């Protein structure tokens, strides 16, 4: 139906059946986070613009061109969160989580907003689930976070379709050394730089390495490697992480061009990628961000985390046909003219108490049994129940299995639970 109002470009409705894989994913996320001892954080979708500028960095794609920013009625500049590492750190500081010596493991899930060109796998309102750990500086916690994500992929049935890529950016000192080398190299080749890269040369030369412009790739490939500027300690951190991952059965691909688009990373950065989703191949991304807390006004404290795009994970689940949630009722309660609607309503209530956790749909509208059976079949329910005047008088229920054959029959109310339990076995 044509309507006067349509949803905004790059934003999606999830309607009825399409919500099922989301619920499956959300359940697996909750289980995995619980299994690793991570606690949930729920923060506002709207934050001060300055929060994102300060944390993500002024010269990043997100802050330069992707944020939904507006002035509210009081002329305060606000932004719909484009990611949630900044919001979580803000909340952790504000709620006193970041005490010296303390460790917090947190996770979140929800909508993010970026003004990008909408295309397959790229939306303006999309959703991320993320995990963050504050207070641990060693590579063990990076390994734990990566194992947590790997377990989730396995649980969801997409483990074989994703590959871990890792790199190290070293610490701030390493990067200062490297930055100078890069500026020297790219300045020598200034005439080969595209417009974006020219702008980045002064402000954020590392981001040139992140360019997706095909014309820039040769120049980038010959640039000095960050590896050669890393200190012994940084290299040791990275080697330890790789050893921990290998020991846990995860073989990462080292990708020295992986720099990530945000300014706050240091040491380890990583991405889970797939070749099953066309050009939007990044499923999950993360890294260490020591220095962010201090940048945001807290005491210096290490941090590390990742976030995955829920739409992309669901697209992968659908491509691999591993979704299994059904948005259908289990029991369909019919309504006959022979008994009062109060009676059929009471029957449905009673059945809900008998088989908690199952979905019991009360048809509400009386009609011919034939049309109600048709509707029950269409609903995908496992079993239909009918109570007419005879059943009412006898204290029985007529029960018809709708899936997998099975005879229609009339059973005593006291036996109904036994029948339903057998029929509703998963
Ligand atoms: P990309 O290179 O695809 O733009 P990104 O580096 O901007 O990704 P991050 O900010 O690291 O992405 O976000 C983590 C994950 O969130 C991505 O790997 C991706 O799965 C998902 N994601 C990011 N932007 C979008 C978007 N506009 N629509 C859908 N998913 C997105
Ligand atoms: Mg992006």
In angstroms, what is the span from residue 307 Cα to ligand 1's centroid? 9
Residues facing residue 401 across a β-bridge: 383
Cα distances from 57 to residues 101, 271, 282, in angstroms, run 27, 20, 21
**Does residue 162 have its Cβ closer than 6 Å to ligand 1?**
no
Pocket test for ligand 1, best of 115, 117, 119, 126 (most atoms within 8 A of CB): 126
Compute the distance between CA of residue 133 and CA of residue 115 in angstroms, rounded to an integer: 28
**Does residue 330 have its Cβ closer than 6 Å to ligand 1?**
no
Residue 121 zone, left/alpha/beta (φ > 0; ψ -120 to 50; rest): left
Q: How many CB atoms lie within 10 A of CB 43?
A: 19
The candidate with the shortest Cα–Cα distance to 322, out of 163, 153, 162, 164, is: 153
DSSP 62: I
**Does residue 118 have its Cβ closer than 6 Å to ligand 1?**
no
- Supply 130's token pair: 């993320």
- Supply 33's token pair: 């986070």
Q: How many CB atoms lie within 10 A of CB 147?
A: 16
**Atom from ligand 1 closest to the CA of residue 124:** 27
Percent of the chain residues topping a pLDDT of 70: 99
pLDDT of 209: 86
pLDDT of 7: 96
Pocket test for ligand 1, best of 280, 308, 311 (most atoms within 8 A of CB): 280
Q: What is the pLDDT of residues 236-278, one digit of tens each?
A: 999 999 999 999 999 999 998 887 756 678 899 999 999 999 8
Cα distances from 182 to residues 175, 206, 316, in angstroms, run 10, 8, 37
Compute the distance between CA of residue 309 and CA of residue 277 in angstroms, rounded to an integer: 12
Pocket test for ligand 1, best of 130, 312, 313 (most atoms within 8 A of CB): 312
Whether 129 contacts 309, CB under 8 Å: no
Compute the distance between CA of residue 224 and CA of residue 233 in angstroms, rounded to an integer: 20
Query: Which residue's CA is the nearest one to ligand 1's atom 6?
Result: 261
Compute the distance between CA of residue 240 and CA of residue 254 in angstroms, rounded to an integer: 14
Q: What is the pLDDT of residues 91-115, one digit of tens each?
A: 999 999 999 899 999 999 999 999 9
Whether 291 contacts 303, CB under 8 Å: no
φ/ψ (deg, to 5) at 14? -110, 115
Query: Which residue's CA is the nearest one to ligand 1's atom 11?
Result: 285
Which domains does the chain show, CATH number per domain?
Answer: 16-171+231-319 (3.30.930.10), 331-424 (3.40.50.800)
CA dihedral of 371, 372, 378, 379, whole degrees rounded to 10? 160
Cα distances from 273 to residues 72, 98, 107, 244, 298, in angstroms, run 38, 32, 21, 20, 33
3-state secondary structure (DSSP) of residue 67: coil
pLDDT of 280: 86
Burial of 26 (0-12, 13-18, 19+ CB in 10 A): middle
Which residue has 């006067």 as its token pair? 4
In angstroms, what is the span from residue 301 Cα to ligand 1's centroid? 26
Q: Side-chain half-sphere of 56: how many Cα atoms within 13 Å? A: 27
Residues facing residue 384 across a β-bridge: 332, 400
Mean pLDDT computed over every residue of the chain? 93
* 3 state SS for 235-294: HHHHHHHHHHHHHCCCCCEECCCCCCCCCCCEEEEEEEECCCCCCCCEEEEEEECCCHHH
pLDDT of 32: 98
Whether 201 contacts 56, CB under 8 Å: no
pLDDT of 1: 64
Query: Which residue's CA is the nearest one to ligand 1's atom 31?
Result: 309
Edge-to-edge strands, sheet with 68-71: 46-48, 77-80, 68-71
Compute the distance between CA of residue 79 and CA of residue 58 in angstroms, rounded to an integer: 14
pLDDT of 19: 92
Q: What is the pTM of this model?
A: 0.90
Whether 256 contacts 226, CB under 8 Å: yes
Compute the distance between CA of residue 314 and CA of residue 12 in angstroms, rounded to an integer: 14
Each of the 426 residues of the chain gets a pLDDT tens digit; together they read: 677 899 999 999 999 889 999 999 999 999 999 999 999 999 999 999 999 999 988 878 899 899 999 999 999 999 999 999 999 999 999 999 999 899 999 999 999 999 999 999 999 999 999 999 999 999 999 999 999 999 999 999 999 999 999 999 998 888 888 989 999 999 999 999 999 899 888 888 888 888 888 999 999 989 998 888 899 999 999 999 999 999 999 999 999 888 775 667 889 999 999 999 988 899 999 999 998 998 898 888 999 999 999 999 999 999 999 998 777 899 999 988 888 888 889 999 999 999 999 999 999 887 888 999 999 999 999 999 999 889 999 999 999 999 877 899 999 999 999 999 999 987
Burial of 279 (0-12, 13-18, 19+ CB in 10 A): exposed
């Amino acid at each position: 139906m044509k309507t006067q109002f349509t949803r905004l470009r790059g934003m999606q409705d999830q309607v009825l059946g399409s919500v099922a894989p989301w619920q499956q994913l959300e359940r697996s996320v909750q289980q995995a986070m619980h299994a690793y001892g991570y606690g949930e954080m729920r923060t506002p979708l709207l934050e001060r613009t300055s929060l994102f500028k300060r944390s993500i960095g002024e010269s990043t794609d997100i802050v330069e061109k992707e944020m939904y920013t507006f002035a509210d009625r009081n002329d305060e500049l606000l932004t719909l969160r484009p990611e949630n590492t900044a919001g979580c750190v803000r909340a952790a500081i504000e709620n006193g989580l970041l005490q010296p010596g303390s460790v917090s493991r947190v996770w979140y899930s929800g909508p993010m907003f970026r003004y990008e060109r909408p295309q397959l796998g790229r939306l303006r309102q999309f959703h991320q689930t993320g995990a963050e750990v504050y207070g641990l500086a060693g590579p063990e916690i990076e390994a734990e976070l990566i194992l947590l994500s790997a377990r989730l992929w396995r649980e969801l049935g997409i483990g074989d379709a994703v590959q871990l890529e890792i790199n190290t950016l070293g610490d701030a000192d390493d990067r200062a050394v490297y930055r100078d080398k890069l500026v020297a190299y790219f300045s020598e080749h200034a005439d080969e730089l595209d417009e974006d890269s020219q702008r980045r040369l002064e402000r954020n030369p590392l981001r040139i390495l992140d360019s997706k412009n095909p014309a820039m790739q040769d120049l980038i490939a010959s640039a000095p490697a960050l590896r050669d500027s890393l200190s012994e300690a940084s290299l040791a951190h990275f080697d330890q992480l790789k050893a921990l991952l290998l020991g846990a059965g995860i073989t990462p691909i080292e990708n020295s061009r992986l720099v990530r688009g945000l300014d706050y990373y240091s040491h380890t950065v990583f991405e889970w990628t797939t070749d099953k989703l066309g050009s939007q191949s990044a499923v999950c991304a993360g890294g260490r961000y020591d220095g962010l807390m201090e940048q945001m006004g807290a005491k210096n404290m290490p941090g590390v985390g990742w976030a995955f795009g829920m739409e992309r994970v669901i697209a992968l689940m659908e491509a691999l046909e591993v979704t299994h949630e059904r948005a259908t009722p289990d029991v369909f309660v019919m309504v006959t003219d022979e008994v009062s609607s109060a009676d059929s309503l009471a029957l449905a209530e009673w059945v809900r108490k008998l088989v908690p956790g199952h979905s019991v749909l009360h048809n509400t509208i009386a009609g011919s049994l034939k049309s109600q059976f048709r509707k029950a079949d269409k609903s995908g329910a496992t079993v239909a129940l009918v109570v007419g005047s005879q059943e009412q008088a006898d204290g029985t229920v007529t029960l018809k299995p709708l899936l997998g054959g099975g005879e229609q029959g009339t059973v005593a109310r006291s036996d109904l639970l036994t029948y339903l339990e057998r029929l509703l076995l998963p």
